[in-house]
């Protein structure tokens, strides 16, 4: 069902391009089979849908606060006091916005990447998603970057005079721009993430999945974001704005009956029971809307917002906040 409030014309990326990107991902999978002439990099492909584990813990926006990150992971039962994985087959989903508003961004990204490797060796996983602040940095919107965030990415030297983008920036911003713009070192690390992921009967995304995203397919949407971050295609226009999967607040800002109807159609289209989103700070803690079909988990973990520690636990059909 296409909601009348979500006009498809607002999305300017062609369906043909999305289908081509999905086909390319499928070909990468086929190329890994015995007898194929070439193989993709060892860490490809990246799946969108994963089977249900015994236990899932979802963590909201972290915004550059390492102590908040550690506190959430320890509350989840994922790490010990030396930041080592102790979660066994636990699956952690972090719904984006590691970046901005705090100085520990690079350290948090490195921690989550390391823990994912440790978790997978024990049958678990850490799925870190891209939020709007990850994608903002890729299109060089640095309004919320702290001084420490710029200091973590010093420039390598004077920019090439032909590189008009870098030349136009302040010297202190150029190193970060080199790292985060599509094709840069940090953008390539972000390209190893999903924008949305399904684990068991739950779909996780920073802002929200809309009917248009279901129509395209989450695989194609994820691959379009990754291809842009790798510098392979122009920025899809739907990455920005209220119809973006990382920007919409349709389900997290006191959704009305019409929004809950849209949610119901999306969940039915994906074949899942619930959606878990971040992005909108919930002043009273983790909040369920639409009869428990959507859970809003941005509780202001980072010190910028007050540092409340709470995570969402899913065991089968039992969903609850842990404080």
**Residue 202: which of 90, 318, 76 has the closest Cα?**
318
Q: Please, which residues have CB within 8 angstroms of residue 66's CB and are 6 or more apart in sequence?
A: 102, 104, 107, 108, 111
Q: What is the DSSP letter of 139?
A: T
Distance CA 78, CA 265 (A): 34
Longest CA pairwise span in the chain (Å): 58
- Round to whole Å and give the CA distance between 93 and 169: 35
Q: How many CB atoms lie within 10 A of CB 205?
A: 30
CA-to-CA dists, residue 244 to 11, 147, 170, 238, 259, angstroms: 9, 28, 29, 5, 15
Strand spans (E) along 27-98: 49-50, 56-59, 91-94
User: Is position 133 annotated as part of the catalytic site?
Assistant: yes
- 216 φ, ψ to 5°? -70, -40
Which one of 127, 133, 206, 213 is the catalytic residue? 133
Tokens, residue 82: 């030396």
3-state secondary structure of 133: helix
Q: Tell me how far apart the alpha carbons of residues 25 and 13 are, in angstroms, rounded to a whole number.
A: 18
Residues with catalytic roles: 133
């Amino acid at each position: 069902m296409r909601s009348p409030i979500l006009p498809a014309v607002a999305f300017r990326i062609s369906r043909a391009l999305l289908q081509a990107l999905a086909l390319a991902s499928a070909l990468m999978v086929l190329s890994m089979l015995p007898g194929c002439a070439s193989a993709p990099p060892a860490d490809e492909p990246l799946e969108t849908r994963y089977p249900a584990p015994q236990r899932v813990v979802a963590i909201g926006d972290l915004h550059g606060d390492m102590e908040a990150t550690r506190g959430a992971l320890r509350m989840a039962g994922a790490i010990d006091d030396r930041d080592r994985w102790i979660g066994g087959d636990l699956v952690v989903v972090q719904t984006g916005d590691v970046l901005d508003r705090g100085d520990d961004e690079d350290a948090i990204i490195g921690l989550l990447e390391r823990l994912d490797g440790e978790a997978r060796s024990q049958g678990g996983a850490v799925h870190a998603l891209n939020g709007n602040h990850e994608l903002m940095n890729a299109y060089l919107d640095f309004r919320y970057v702290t001084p420490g965030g710029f200091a973590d990415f010093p420039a390598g030297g004077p920019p090439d005079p032909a590189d008009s983008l870098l030349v136009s920036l302040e010297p202190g911003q150029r190193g970060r721009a080199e790292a985060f713009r599509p094709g840069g070192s940090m953008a390539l690390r972000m390209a190893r993430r999903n924008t949305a992921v399904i684990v068991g009967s739950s779909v996780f995304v920073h802002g929200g999945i809309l009917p248009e995203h279901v129509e395209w397919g989450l695989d194609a949407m994820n691959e379009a974001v990754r291809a842009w971050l790798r510098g392979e295609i122009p920025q899809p226009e739907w990455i920005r704005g209220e119809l973006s999967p990382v920007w919409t607040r349709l389900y997290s800002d006191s959704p009305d009956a019409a929004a809950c109807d849209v949610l119901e159609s999306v969940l039915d289209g994906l074949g899942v029971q619930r959606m878990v989103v971040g992005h909108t700070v919930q002043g009273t803690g983790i909040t369920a809307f639409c009869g428990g079909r959507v859970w809003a988990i941005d509780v202001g973990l980072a010190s910028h917002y007050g540092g409340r520690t709470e995570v969402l636990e899913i065991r089968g059909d039992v969903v609850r906040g842990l404080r």
